[in-house]
Amino acid sequence: MTFKTGRGWVNLLKGTEALPGQGLERSAMVDRGMFNRGMTKREFLRFSGATLCALSLGGLPSCSGPSQAQIVKKGLIKTKLSPYFTPLQGGEIECTLCPNRCRLARGRRGLCRVRENRDGKQYSLVYGNPCAANLDPIEKKPFFHVLPATTSFSIATVGCNFQCKFCQNWEISQASPEDVYNIDFPPESVVRKAKEMNARSIAYTYVEPTIFYEYMWDTAQLARKAGLLNVSHSNGFINPEPLRKLCKVLDAANIDLKGFTESFYQELCSGELAPVLRSLKILRQERVHLEITNLVIPTKNDEMPVVKEMCLWIKKELGPDTPIHFSRFYPLYKLRTLPPTPVSTLERARAIALSAGLEYVYIGNVPGHEGEHTFCPKCKKLLIQRTGYMIGEVHLKAGKCGYCGKPIPGIWP
């Protein structure tokens, strides 16, 4: 379906893959000139609203029955009581969902902008209210060891518990519910839509899904009953109790290990490294399929001795068969003055990871590079050929190398 916005024509059924290094705001083809000069926040919000209107009116296959009509509006639509808070004196509460542990007076919101103290109780302000819903290749998440060449129905609300200066989706991650258009899209409708579109999984992505935890949890339970996988792309900044609970319905997680020093997390993310490392170990303990993404940013986290230290930690704590994606940085948000990551830097990081003993090391955001392919760590033969999000040759048999029979970790058809 094609519809017209104030700036141009949008096609929701074609050209929905983001360009390398670009975020959700460029996931549909709309007014190339606007993107060439850089989209303003006002334009993005207008575009987001138009996109969601198209979704609700049939831009994507519609849910059956009049009861499934979807409401699009700017601001709050629904709220839900959260179990993740501790009452304090004087009506204050402490959020226990993530390590920020925000202390909130009545009427105040946490750093994520989407959790509020209402009369001494914590409420999620984004339950069932996504501002983004797309059908994506599973490789875009990126997952290279999960059902190759399938699609994942991907949802996100506004908000995030980090403030990354390099965020590619900052227009929604650093926004409040009142800033954007949201769609009334409850869990049962998300699952129904995913099935209608022949997706094999539902992805909780684009922003940090921890901040819409209740929505993710309810949707994931229904998705599992419907035979769909649940996958998440996360910063891993979540407390152990809610994470272990989520693992009961989570099939795969790609965690952004953004750097490997506390100073990097504090200065560029307003976060901490230690809780992320803890989350990685919990996911491995709970047997959730795990992949890692490391966005390599020039002058910020591209020191090769630190990369080696990170790779040795992954091997020791998570196992040598943990896939890692070294992804190319493009100038975005508050780091627009930095250059794109040289491909040679990514190649050095990959070589270090392989020499450290990691078996599945990928290069991201460089379409056509050999580092996109999966090779058998035993016989060294090509197992899965990729060019961007396109899959070529596949030489797997029942989750094993088609040549030597070595088991390959992942979720395979």
pLDDT tens-digit map of 251-307: 999 999 999 999 999 999 999 999 999 999 999 999 999 999 999 999 999 999 999
Integer Cα distance of 330 and 341 in angstroms: 7
CB 216 within 8 A of CB 187: no
Same domain, 115 and 166: no
Torsional sign, CA 194, 195, 198, 201: positive
We report the CATH number of the domain holding residue 280 as 3.20.20.70
Task: Note the pLDDT of residue 11.
Answer: 30
Spell out the residues 6+ positions from residue 245 whose beta carbon is closer than 8 angstroms to its own: 217
Confidence class of residue 76 from pLDDT cuts 50, 70 and 90? confident
Same domain, 389 and 311: no
Q: How many domains does the chain have?
A: 4
Tell me which residue range forms the domain holding 406: 373-413
CB 17 within 8 A of CB 137: yes
Q: Quick: pLDDT tens for 30-58.
A: 232 333 334 444 444 444 444 544 444 34
Same domain, 249 and 384: no
Same domain, 174 and 321: yes
The pTM of the whole model exceeds 0.85 = yes
Same domain, 183 and 299: yes
Confidence class of residue 72 from pLDDT cuts 50, 70 and 90? confident
Integer Cα distance of 101 and 85 in angstroms: 9
Residue 108, in any domain of the structure: yes
Integer Cα distance of 239 and 219 in angstroms: 20
